[in-house]
Amino acid sequence: MTGKLGMYLTLSREMERLKTINSESDDEDKIADAGNDYLEISSLFDNLSSNAVSLFGEQILNFSRDEA
Q: Which residue has the higher pLDDT, 3 or 26?
A: 26
Q: What is the pLDDT of residue 62?
A: 66
Helix axes 2-24, 28-56, angle to 10 degrees: 150
CA 36/CA 44 separation, integer angstroms: 13
Residue 1 has pLDDT above 60, yes or no: no
Q: Is 44 exposed, middle or buried (0-12, 13-18, 19+ CB in 10 A)?
A: middle
Question: Residue 3: pLDDT above 80?
Answer: no
How is the chain split into domains, by residue range? 2-51
Q: Residues 10-48: pLDDT tens digits?
A: 998 999 999 999 999 999 999 999 999 999 999 998 888
4 has a pLDDT exceeding 70 = no
